[in-house]
């Protein structure tokens, strides 16, 4: 007992020492490894937005922002090392951009009392804030993505897809397996036939998977891929002449880096998105004036305006707005992780807010509450125009099938609550 006391006292002394005065938003990024193609633009966008706030506004509410970066290489062991090395700095919120690391960190952030935001990734059932008080996944999650993709297919087929064949090509990991349950439920409802085609990490070799697709001839292919897997899959799809407009990727399979290697063949490839694309926003003028032209851009500075760079901006914007909300609620600019959590739970994203930030119509409107940590599940479909070299939104934002998704979230989060011994509570 005495030993424990001394140990905890020492641990407290060591970890409490480097408390910084600034707002700390650590970035667990990956600029190396097979997933760097997605990791670099996101990390650049995340960093540039905070640099802009520091340069233009002097931080958030007068407090400067610090963004210690730590390289995870999408590897869970390095992710743990990064989390442990940054959590003592007074980190306010984590965005690991890796479903594997997210699963790792959910129990840890809950024990340490630091919020985590996993926009469009992570554990879908974290939407239930009664079970996951420290984890947020607004504005959309994997199951929303699967449901919106099926909705789009319904639209394409005039509302009837019974007897159609849909294949899911997925990264054989927690991330790729997430949508399976949803797609199975939806297949019961709409009567399509679902086939599952896993691709193992890192996904550089997919010949057999696409041979299977060529043999089975599914009507549509939905892909949950990431990193180098996307490029290979799109190239293979081009090779077997699969119709590109019937090939729909999740938002993590929809970056310029994924389609460009396949050249003109990738024309017409579709991908979901939960935020807008392109660089035609007033915010980019500010970025240019305060960040790019001053030579402060993160990384090589060649990712501006790409889909995942925009997602990095969007992710940083969401936590910055949550921090502002937290400062308003608690009446102090020096917020703690616990206050940050309150700010995230009270976050309201409205059109006026986004317009004022220079990002009109950039993302969906949503309100976070304890019961709903995940937004309303709106997503749109973008299509790749190879000749213009850009993504174009071809649909409006559509809401996922809440009748299917919501009960699944309820069931999965309750199963977790049982397993981890949590009593769900909203106060």
Partner 1 sequence: MFYREAGDFKTSYEEDSQTFPIKFDRYRYYFVLAFAFAVVPFVINDYWVNAIFMPFLIYSIAAIGLNILVGYCGQVSLGTGGFMAVGAYAVYKLMTAFPEVNIIFHVIAAGGITAIVGVLFGLPSLRIKGFYLAVATLAAQFFLVWLFNRVPWFYNHSASGQINAPERTVFGVEVTGPNTEAWATYLFCLVFTLICAILARNLTRGVQGRKWMAIRDMDIAAEIIGVDPLRAKLSAFAVSSFFVGIAGALFFAVYLGAVEVGEAFGINKSFLVLFMVIIGGLGSIFGSFAGAAFLVLLPVLLKNTLVGGLGWPTDLASHLEFMIVGALIIAFLIAEPHGLAQLWRVAKEKLRLWPFPH
Q: Where along the sequence are the contacts to partner 1 (CB under 8 A)?
A: 3-4, 6-8, 10-11, 14-15, 29, 31-32, 36, 40, 69-71, 73, 75-77, 80-81, 84-85, 87-88, 99-100, 103-104, 106-108, 110-111, 123, 125, 172-175, 177-178, 180-181, 198, 200-201, 299, 412, 415, 419-421
Which tokens in the block code for residue 288? 């240019």
Hey, which bits of 253-396 come out as E strands? 270-273, 348-349, 366-367, 378-385, 390-393
Cα-based distances in Å from 85 to 70, 72, 96, 110, 385: 9, 12, 14, 17, 43
Hey, which bits of 11-158 come out as E strands? 23-24, 27-29, 65-66, 69-71, 116-117, 135-136
Instruction: Specify the residue, 7 or 356, whose C-beta has the smaller distance to partner 1.
Output: 7
β-bridge mates for residue 246, sequence order: none
Which tokens in the block code for residue 420? 């981890």
**Looking at residue 94, what DSSP letter applies?**
B
Q: CB 28 → partner 1: shortest distance, Å? A: 10
Instruction: Specify the residue, 165 or 201, whose C-beta has the smaller distance to partner 1.
Output: 201
Q: CB 39 → partner 1: shortest distance, Å? A: 9
HSE-CB for 253 with a 13 A CA cutoff: 33
Q: CB 349 → partner 1: shortest distance, Å? A: 27
Instruction: Specify the residue, 104 or 336, whose C-beta has the smaller distance to partner 1.
Output: 104
Q: CB 12 → partner 1: shortest distance, Å? A: 9
Instruction: Specify the residue, 123 or 151, whose C-beta has the smaller distance to partner 1.
Output: 123
β-bridge mates for residue 167, sequence order: 195, 221
Q: CB 32 → partner 1: shortest distance, Å? A: 5
Instruction: Specify the residue, 68 or 261, whose C-beta has the smaller distance to partner 1.
Output: 68
Q: CB 31 → partner 1: shortest distance, Å? A: 3
Work out the number of other CB atoms within 10 angstroms of the CB of residue 314: 23
Q: CB 224 → partner 1: shortest distance, Å? A: 12
Instruction: Specify the residue, 393 or 422, whose C-beta has the smaller distance to partner 1.
Output: 422
Evaluate the omega torsion of the peptide bond into residue 202 and state whether it is cis, within 30 degrees of 0. yes
Burial readout 393-418 (b: 16 or more C-beta within 10 A, e: otherwise):
eebebbbbbeebbbebbeebbbebbe
Q: Are 237 and 258 in contact (CB under 8 A)?
A: no
Q: CB 30 → partner 1: shortest distance, Å? A: 9
Q: CB 286 → partner 1: shortest distance, Å? A: 24
How far apart are the C-alpha atoms of 249 and 226, rounded to whole Å?
10
Instruction: Specify the residue, 164 or 201, whose C-beta has the smaller distance to partner 1.
Output: 201
Instruction: Specify the residue, 11 or 356, whose C-beta has the smaller distance to partner 1.
Output: 11
Instruction: Specify the residue, 14 or 211, whose C-beta has the smaller distance to partner 1.
Output: 14
| Residues comprising the chain, all counted | 427
How far apart are the C-alpha atoms of 11 and 29, rounded to whole Å?
27
């Amino acid at each position: 007992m005495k030993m424990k006391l001394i140990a905890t006292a020492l641990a407290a002394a060591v970890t409490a020492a480097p408390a910084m005065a600034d707002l700390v938003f650590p970035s667990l990024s990956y600029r190396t490894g097979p997933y760097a193609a997605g990791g670099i633009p996101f990390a650049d966008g995340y960093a540039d937005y905070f640099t802009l706030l520091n340069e233009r506004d002097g931080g958030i509410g007068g407090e400067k922002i610090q963004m210690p970066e730590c390289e995870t290489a999408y590897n869970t062991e390095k992710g743990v090392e990064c989390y442990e090395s940054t959590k003592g700095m007074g980190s306010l919120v984590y965005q690991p951009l890796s479903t594997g690391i997210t699963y790792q960190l959910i129990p840890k952030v809950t024990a340490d009392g630091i919020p985590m935001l996993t926009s469009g990734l992570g554990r879908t059932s974290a939407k239930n804030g009664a079970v996951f008080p420290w984890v947020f996944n607004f504005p959309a999650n994997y199951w929303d993505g699967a449901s919106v993709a099926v909705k789009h297919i319904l639209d394409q087929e005039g509302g009837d897809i019974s007897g159609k064949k849909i294949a899911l090509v997925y990264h054989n990991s927690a991330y790729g397996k997430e949508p399976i349950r949803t797609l199975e439920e939806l297949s019961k409802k709409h009567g399509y036939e679902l086939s599952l085609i896993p691709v193992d990490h890192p996904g550089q070799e997919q010949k057999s998977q696409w041979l299977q697709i060529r043999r089975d001839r599914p009507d549509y292919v939905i892909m949950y891929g990431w990193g180098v897997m996307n490029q290979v899959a799109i190239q293979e799809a081009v090779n077997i002449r699969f119709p590109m407009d019937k090939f729909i990727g999740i938002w993590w399979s929809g970056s310029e880096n994924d389609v460009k290697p396949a050249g003109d063949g990738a024309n017409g490839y579709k991908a979901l998105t939960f935020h807008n694309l392109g660089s035609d926003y007033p915010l980019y003028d500010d970025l240019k004036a305060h960040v790019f032209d001053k030579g402060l851009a993160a990384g090589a500075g060649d990712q501006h305006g790409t889909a995942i760079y925009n997602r990095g901006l969007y992710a940083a914007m969401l936590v910055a707005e949550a921090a502002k909300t937290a400062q308003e609620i608690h009446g102090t600019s020096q917020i703690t992780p616990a206050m940050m959590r309150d700010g995230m739970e009270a976050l309201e994203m409205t059109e006026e807010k986004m317009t004022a930030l220079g990002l009109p119509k950039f993302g969906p409107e949503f309100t976070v509450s304890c019961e709903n940590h995940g937004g309303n599940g709106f997503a749109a479909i973008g299509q790749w125009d190879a000749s213009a070299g850009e993504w174009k939104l071809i649909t409006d934002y559509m809401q996922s099938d809440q009748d299917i998704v919501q009960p699944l979230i309820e069931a999965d989060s309750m199963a977790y609550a049982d397993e981890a011994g949590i009593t769900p509570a909203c106060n």
